[in-house]
Amino acid sequence: MKKSTFLVFTMPSFIMMTLFIALPLLIVLIQSFQFNQDVLETIERENCDPFGCKTETITVPVLDENGNKIKNNIWVGFQNYKNILKFEQLSSVISNDGFEWSKIRSIDFYKALRFTLTFTFITLPFVIILGLILALCVNVLINRLKGPIIFITLLPFIITPVIGALSIKWLFIGDGILTLFLENILDKDIALFSQGWTIEILMLFYRVWHTIPFAFVIFYAGLQTVDKEKIEAAFVDGANRLQRLRFIIIPHIMPLIVFVALIHLMDSYRVFDEIVGFSASGFRISLQWMTYDFLRIDDSGTRSIGRASATSVLTMIGIIIILIPVLRRTFKEQKEKRL
């Protein structure tokens, strides 16, 4: 292909990616080194409401001649990162009490990081193994059943994540029907939303249930391309079902497994919907939830854009670190193929 043709064809997507990915990333990076403040002044204000009049000394934003707040972006270096990571507090906890988790988790970032990592790495094997098992099962069904079964299997993936999370919450919260059912069977009072670990298990379960169809569809497509002659040859050589799976099928769809793992790692590191859907923020928070919480406007009408940007940058760095092993493996394979 000529270089100019190549440029013409890629230019639209290049421009789009600059506008919608690179530029926002750059802005987030810049904001993470700034405080976004209103210019404030302390004044005396007389305030009359149904409970009487009083004059108070309060700090309020200065308004310009059009009556708008005057905003100021102040460069603060790594202050936002320091406010989130709190290394000083962390090191004082560690030097005093050692790695005592109950003390470390009082710093929001480490509490969120702990949950995010557990969530990411516990759901991963379940999604891949169960997705593969499902694909193998559907693959041996008679043709007439395949269509309907695939359709039903895909349903959890079609549901909007927040809606799915809410439905599961309502099944279990308070006297939800499944809680009542469990209480009847076990003859015990069950409150799944009264402690962190039960909510965490529900959230893990929900994510696995929701993502399996994605893994299943990819693996099922991969299974259609397995060389039948190879399988037959292995059968003739006396390989049993497990050996055929291990030595022929899995190596064949390995690139797909890596692909699913890659997407799942990226997706679940950004866990957020579950925290909102299960109202879990009293017990468990994630890194993305922290970003959201900083961005939420409070009653005074302001938000912490600096710290929100800093958590976003930290989340991105986290995703990159997690993906490095997988990406290195893919690069290596690509290189070998070329040789």
Partner 1 sequence: MKKILVLFSIFTSFFFLAGTNAKACELNNSVPVTSLSAGFDAWKVVTSAMEECGNFTPTLDQEYRDKLVASLESNPSQFTMAGVSASTNVSVLDAGVTRPLDDLVAKYGDSLQDNQKIVIDGKIMAIAMMTNAQHLFYREDILSDLGIDIPTTYDELLKAAKVIKDAGVVDYPLGGTFKSGWNLGEEFVNMYLGFADSFFDGNMPAVNNNDGYETLKMMKKLTEYMDPEYLTSDSTYVQQQFQQGKIALANLWASRAGAMDNAEESTVVGLVKFASAPKAKKNGKPASTLWWDGVVIAKNVTDEEAEAAFKLAMVGLDPANLGANPEAAPWLSNAFDPAPSNIGAILTAKSGAAPYPASAKMSTLHGVLGAAIGDYLTGAATAKATLEKIEADYITAATEKGLL
DSSP 8-state class, residue 110: H
Of 244 and 284, the one with the shorter C-beta distance to partner 1 is 284
Helices and strands (H, E) in the chain, number of each type: 16, 4
Q: Does the footprint of partner 1 cover residue 281 (CB under 8 A)?
A: yes
Tokens representing residue 31 in the block: 């904001």
DSSP 8-state class, residue 175: T
The H or E element that residue 49 is part of is strand 40-49
Q: Does the footprint of partner 1 cover residue 51 (CB under 8 A)?
A: yes
Q: Does the footprint of partner 1 cover residue 63 (CB under 8 A)?
A: yes
**Of 158-177, which residues contact partner 1 (CB under 8 A)?**
173-174
Residue window 21-40: x/- pattern of binding to partner 1, with contact defined by CB under 8 A: --------------x-xxxx
The H or E element that residue 76 is part of is none
Q: Does the footprint of partner 1 cover residue 240 (CB under 8 A)?
A: no
Of 103 and 252, the one with the shorter C-beta distance to partner 1 is 103
Instruction: Tell the smallest beta-carbon distance from residue 291 to partner 1 (Å).
Output: 14
Q: How far is CA 257 from the centre of its chain?
A: 19
Of 12 and 282, the one with the shorter C-beta distance to partner 1 is 282
Among 1, 53, 186, 236, binds partner 1 (CB under 8 A): 53
**Of 198-227, which residues contact partner 1 (CB under 8 A)?**
none
Contact criterion met (CB below 8 Å) for 288 and 271: yes
Q: How far apart are CA 174 and CA 177, in angstroms?
A: 9
Handedness of CA 107, 109, 115, 117 (dihedral sign): negative
Q: Which residues pair with 303 in a beta bridge?
A: none
Q: What residue ranges bind partner 1 (CB under 8 A)?
A: 35, 37-40, 45-51, 53, 56, 58-61, 63, 67-69, 72, 80, 83, 89, 102-103, 105-106, 108, 173-174, 191-196, 279, 281-283, 293, 296-302, 304, 306-307
